[in-house]
Amino acid sequence: MKKLSFTNGVFLGGLLFLYLPMLILIIYSFNSSRLVTVWAGWSTKWYLALLEDDQILGAIWMSLRIAFYSSTMAVVLGTMAAFVMTRFNKFRGRTLFSGMITAPLVMPDVIIGLSLLLLFVGMAQGFGWPAERGMLTIWIAHVTFSAAYATVVISSRLREVDRSVEEAAMDLGATPFKTFFIITVPAIAPALAAGWLLSFTLSLDDLVISSFVAGPGATTLPMVVFSSVRLGVSPKINALATLIIMAVSLAAFVTWYVLRRAEKRRLQQLRTDMEEVVEVPAYRPQPVINPVKQRKQRVGSQEKEEVPESVT
Amino acid sequence: MSAFVQRLSGSLGRRTLIGIPFLWLLLFFLIPFAIVLKISFAEMQISIPPYSSVVEYADESLNIVLNLGNYLFLLDDDLYAAAYLSSIQIALNATLMALLLGYPMAYAMARAPAHMQTTLLLLILLPSWTSFLIRIYAWMGLLSNKGLINNALISLGVITDPIPMMNTNFAVYIGMVYAYLPFVILPIYANLIKHDQSLLEAAADLGCPPWKAFLTITLPLSKAGILAGFMLMFIPAVGEFVIPELLGGPDTLMIGKVLWQEFFNNRDWPVAASLAMVMLLLLIIPIMIFHRQQAKELEAA
């Protein structure tokens, strides 16, 4: 058996550190005792209690709606910003523009929340809009910070898109607008999906910014969870946490499956392409024990080595 | 004619494309800071909104009243200076711990077989997609005096009295490393997979031991990744509210928590605004370093 290297050992330890607390939370969500740390047998009663809690259900619905609308808008803004960042090298205010995209990535939540609240209060005082704080103000706040994340995800893909296809379409008479939707959007579709999902989870997750900009009418799920958790551990929240972890794991599994299939198809394609180009002779002397495995690794990691070196 | 129309629409399209995200960010990200600055010079009042106006126009005269009281108040009370210092210290220590754990993890991922890397990456990212609040909450049940860790240690006979872990700085460190670990691993991993392996092979051929090759080649080359991971965790951790609130104790002094209390409990908006301004001032240099690095990444074609 292969010896476990130091880094692999740390990696496994780190994974345990990341997953054990969540695993224990899941197990204890089925605990029938009200005292959360004492085990008293299996039960699903906290899940049933969750279903009867109108406040939590209402907050889930509110959070899902805000997350859906804000991630959609964040992807629209993020695509525009990513296009500007990767395609327009010079315009007035470019430094300011890129600064306003990277700063929200690290800006502490309390600062963003307080500053947006003071803006909304000032605007309401100045010209009466927004008249009351609620879903709309939370939506604006979430769009603003998640658009920055969407921009980073989308621009990293946009940079790799082969621009000659876009230019060919324009040369053949397509308008920039049409070219964008027919050529560019399909090419960056995975990044658009990734940016949307990231924005969605960021919006669902936000507690601090929402707490600042929400009015009395709008309560999101993290706000309900926080006010309950502050008082201590509660079995109902364990059940809710388990459901959230399950939902995210399911979504991640689907993503993993799709990515893996795409990757396999890409490798297959690359291999057949290479074999056509290189025309590997059938009886070439092979110094390595497992040439197929080696070539596969080379294809996966270093694409620039397209032609295998001649064996001397 | 048609070329003219195309140029016109091209420049119009270009302007709209730049204009919409630009105006959005200007209005909802940059201008709010100017308003925070303004309110930080106001005075607290019992009114709606609960602060005095800084700029007033009456009897044909423009009155600008800059009340420095909030800033003097922050200087006067040692609590605030202590809160800033301890926030920076806690964030710094937690980030260094996360780097010590995250770097070997990123290294193991980058050296794993190519077909496994997507799976490993998703395994690292998965926890960060579940709720932040839930992940911090998970530790509350583990660390408390009647929590699982203490119960397990007592039943094993290792200790007789529970070790107080909950509501201490120790719990805050655990929570921070736990919550931010993926953000530290990701940039380091992205950097490590770009390295040219032939450098290490050359070093090995010339008789360099692996640890020395790591110290003289891999580590210096991954500086940019380490810096990005550091900034991605350190800057938001300084202003962290949820972790010190839920896991920390009364002694855990962090500025995000102080700001929250000034705003929500004391309803003193001007003091909260000046606290935010000073925090921004402290963080502006790290943010600019992070920005310069990110801009390079964003623009590198």
**Following DSSP, what letter does each residue of B32-60 receive, concatenated?**
HHHHHHHHTTS-B-SSSSSB--SEEEETT
Do residue A134 and residue A228 come from a single domain? yes
- My answer on whether A172 and A88 are in the same domain is yes
Partner residues linked to B55 by β-bridges:
B64
Alpha-carbon Rg for chain A, nearest whole angstrom, is: 26
Q: How far apart are CA A53 and CA A239, in angstroms?
A: 12
Please check the confidence at residue A136 and state whether its pLDDT lies above 50.
Answer: yes
Give yes or no for residue A119 having a pLDDT over 90: yes
| A294 within some domain | no
Of B97, B109, B297, give the one whose Cα is nearest residue B189: B109
A·B CB contacts under 8 A: 259
Residues A134 and A176 in one domain: yes
Q: Per the domain annotation, does A284 fall within a domain? A: no
If you measure CA to CA, which chain B residue comes closest to A201?
A: B129
The dihedral over CA atoms of A132, A133, A139, A144, expressed in degrees to the nearest 10, equals 110
A42-78 pLDDT, tens digit each:
888 888 888 888 889 999 999 999 999 999 999 999 9
> A186 preceded by cis ω (within 30°)?
no
Amino acid letter, residue B77: D
pLDDT in tens, B169-216: 999 999 999 999 999 999 999 999 988 888 888 998 998 988 888 899
Q: Summarize pLDDT for A199-228 with one digit per residue, the tens.
A: 999 999 999 999 999 977 789 999 999 998
Residue span of the structural domain in which A240 resides:
16-52+235-272
Note whether A48 and A59 are same-domain residues: no
Shortest distance, CA A284 to any CA of chain B (angstroms): 25
Assess whether A144 and A125 both reside in one domain: yes
Residue A229 and residue B137 in contact, taking contact as beta carbons nearer than 8 Å: yes
Residues A256 and A221 in one domain: no
Residues of B in contact with A143 (CB under 8 A): 24, 28
How many angstroms separate the Cα of B297 from the Cα of each of B196, B219, B289, B293? 19, 20, 13, 7
Task: Establish if A213 belongs to a structural domain.
Answer: yes
Choose among A83, A177, A248: nearest Cβ to B126.
A248
Does B214 contact A at CB distance below 8 Å? Answer: no
Residue A291 maps to a domain: no
On the question of pLDDT at A176 being above 90, the answer is no
* In contact, B229 and B293? CB cutoff 8 Å: no
Please state, in angstroms and rounded to a whole number, the distance separating the CA atoms of residues B210 and B203: 8
Provide the 3-class DSSP secondary structure of residue A88: coil
- Positive or negative, the Cα torsion across B270, B271, B273, B274? positive
Domain tally, chain A? 2
B102 at interface of A, judged by CB pairs closer than 8 A: yes
The pLDDT of residue A72 is: 97
**Structure confidence at residue A301 as a pLDDT band (50, 70, 90):** very low
Split at pLDDT 50, 70, 90, the class of A284 is: low
- The answer to whether A6 and B210 are in contact (CB under 8 A) is no
User: Which tens digits make up the pLDDT trace of A222-254?
Assistant: 999 999 888 877 888 889 999 999 998 898 888
For residue A304, what is the DSSP state?
Answer: T
Least confident of A10-14, A87-91, B105-109, B150-154: A87-91
**Quick one: DSSP state of residue B61?**
E
B18: closest CA of chain A, how far (Å): 6
Q: 3-state DSSP: chain B helix, strand, coil percent, rounded to 5?
A: 75, 5, 20
Q: What is the 3-state secondary structure (H, E, C) of A177-235?
A: HHHHHHHHHHHHHHHHHHHHHHHHHHHHHCCHHHHHHCCCCCCCHHHHHHHHHCCCCCH
pLDDT value of position A312: 37
Q: Which of A176, A206, A232 is the last residue of a domain?
A: A232
> What CATH number has the domain bearing residue A75?
1.10.3720.10
A158 and A107 in a common domain: yes
What tokens does A116 get? 């947006």
**Inside any domain, residue A46:** yes
The dihedrals phi and psi of B64, each to the nearest 5 degrees, come to -110, 115
Closest CA to B239 of B271, B289, B284, B297: B284
Residue A285 pLDDT grade (very low, low, confident, very high; cuts 50, 70, 90):
low
Domain presence at residue A4: no
Question: Based on the domain organization, do A251 and A133 belong to the same domain?
Answer: no
The shortest CB-CB distance from A229 to any of B24, B147, B246 is to B246
Query: Please, which residues have CB within 8 angstroms of residue A82's CB and are 6 or more apart in sequence?
Result: A150, A151, A154, A155, A158
Q: Which helix (H) or strand (E) holds B63?
A: strand B61-64
Q: Is B160 on the interface with A (CB under 8 A)?
A: no
pLDDT value of residue A145: 93
Nearest to B298 among A85, A88, A244 (CB): A85
* Percent over 90 (pLDDT), chain A: 36
Lowest mean pLDDT among A131-145, A295-309, B9-23: A295-309
Same domain, A120 and A169: yes
Q: What is the pLDDT of residue B10?
A: 62
Q: Are residues A88 and A164 in the same domain?
A: yes
Angle subtended by helix axes B114-129 and A291-301, to nearest 10: 50
In the predicted model, residues of chain B with pLDDT beneath 50 are 1-2, 301
In a domain, A10, yes or no: no
Tell me if A172 is assigned to some domain: yes
Tell me the percentage of chain A whose pLDDT exceeds 70: 87
| CA–CA distance, A4 with A1 (Å, rounded to integer) | 9
The SS3 assignment for B273 reads helix
Q: How far is CA B66 from the centre of its chain?
A: 31
**Does the pLDDT of residue A104 top 70, yes or no?**
yes
User: In terms of domains, do A38 and A169 share one?
Assistant: no
Confidence of residue A287 (pLDDT cuts 50, 70, 90): low
Across the interface, of A80, A108, A116, the residue whose CB is closest to B28 is A116
Q: Which two tokens stand for residue A3?
A: 């010896």
**Contacts (Cβ under 8 Å, ≥6 apart) of B204:** B210, B213
What pLDDT does residue B26 have? Answer: 92
Chain mean position to CA B147: 29
Closest CA to A6 of B78, B17, B108: B108
DSSP string spanning B113-138?
-HHHHHHHHHHHHHHHHS-HHHHHHH
The residue length of chain B stands at 301
Pair A78, A153: CB distance under 8 Å:
yes
Question: Which residues on B lie below 8 Å from A177 (Cβ)?
Answer: 13
CATH architecture of B69-299: Orthogonal Bundle (1.10)
ipTM > 0.85 (yes/no): yes
Residues in chain A: 312
What is the model's pLDDT at position B86? 94
Residue among A85, A88, A222 minimizing CB distance to B133? A222
Token pair belonging to B219: 């580590």
Contact A21 B178 (CB under 8 A): yes
**Do A219 and A201 belong to one domain?**
yes
Task: Please name the residue of chain A whose CA is at the shortest distance from the CA of residue B256.
Answer: A110
| Average pLDDT of the residues in A281-309 | 49
Largest separation between any pair of C-alpha atoms in chain B: 90
Min Cα–Cα distance to chain A from B145, Å: 10
Q: Closest by alpha carbon to B283, among A145, A144, A103?
A: A103
Contact status of B215 with chain A (Cβ, < 8 Å): no
